[in-house]
Amino acid sequence: MDQVKTGELIRQLRKEKKLTQKELAERINVSDKAVSKWECGNGCPDVSLLPALAEALGTDVQILLSGEIEKNESEKGDMKKIKYYVCRECGNIITAASEATVTCCGNKLTSLEPRRAAEEEMLKTEDIGGEWYVSSDHEMTKEHYISFVAYVSDSIFMMFRQYPEWNLQFTMPMFRTGRLVWYCNRCGLLYQDINPRRRNGQ
C-alpha cells in the first residue's frame, strides 16, 4: 500500500461523499486525527479497518490498497446518484441519472432527498441461501404505504414496486454491498445500507 496514494484517494472519496474528516472517522470508529494523518500520507489505515472504510467511502478494499480508481470504476458510480421523482397525484415513479425537469399530472416535480432510516424504520433483510429476503412491518394501507423499494449499487439499479394492502416482501440477489432506497407516502424517501457480512441492514 502506497500511503501517499491511498491517502489522496481517501480524501477524494470522502469529499465526493460530502463527509468531513470527523464524520468519516465516526463511521469507522477512529479519531478525526487518524483520518487527517492518512490523508496527509503520514500513515495507513490498519488492515482491520479497510472493509468498513471501503464501505463508508463507497469503494472496494482493493481500490484502497492500490490507491487508484480505474476508469470504469469511477464511471459506474453514477447509479448511486439516481434521482427519484414521485407524483403525489397519480403515484407515478420516475427516475433519472441526474437532475431533470420532470412534470406529471400538470405539476413540476422536484427530486426527493433521501434520509438515512432510523433503526425502527429499517427494512428487514434476511439471508436465505444466497439471496436477500426483504420485508417490513410497515403499514400498507391506502392512506399510508411504501410505493417502491430500490436496490442501488455502483453499477446496478433494481426497483421493486409495492402496492397498498399488499405485504411488503420480495427476494433479490445478494450482491457484495449496496443500498436499499424506498418511498413512504408520509415519511418520504429513506435509505439503509446493506452488506452480506451484516444482518437487518445494520
Question: Where does the pLDDT of residue 75 fall: very low under 50, low under 70, confident under 90, or very high at 90 and above?
Answer: very low
For 135-145, letters b (16+ CB in 10 Å) and e give: ebebebeeeeb
132 has which bridge partners?
127, 172
Predicted confidence (pLDDT) per residue in 138-192, tens digit: 999 999 999 999 999 877 899 999 999 899 999 998 876 789 999 999 999 999 9
Q: Is 40 helix (H, G, I), strand (E, B) or coil?
A: coil
Class of domain 3-69: mainly alpha
pLDDT of residue 159: 95
Of residues 176 and 118, the one with the higher pLDDT is 118
Domain locations in the chain as residue ranges: 3-69, 77-194
- The pLDDT of residue 76 is above 50: no
Question: Where does the pLDDT of residue 54 fall: very low under 50, low under 70, confident under 90, or very high at 90 and above?
Answer: confident
The CA–CA distances, whole Å, from 193 to 50, 70, 172 equal 17, 24, 15
pLDDT of residue 74: 43
- Residues near 59 by Cβ (< 8 Å), separated by ≥ 6? 13, 69, 73
CATH fold label, 77-194: Immunoglobulin-like (2.60.40)
Of residues 62 and 72, the one with the higher pLDDT is 62
Q: Tell me which residue of 81, 108, 75 sits closest to 96, measured CA to CA.
A: 81
pLDDT of residue 197: 53
pLDDT of residue 77: 47
For 52-82, letters b (16+ CB in 10 Å) and e give: bbbbbbbbbeebbbebebeeeeeeebeebeb
Q: Within a 10 A sphere around the Cβ of 87, how many other Cβ atoms?
A: 16
Predicted confidence (pLDDT) per residue in 87-98, tens digit: 989 999 999 988
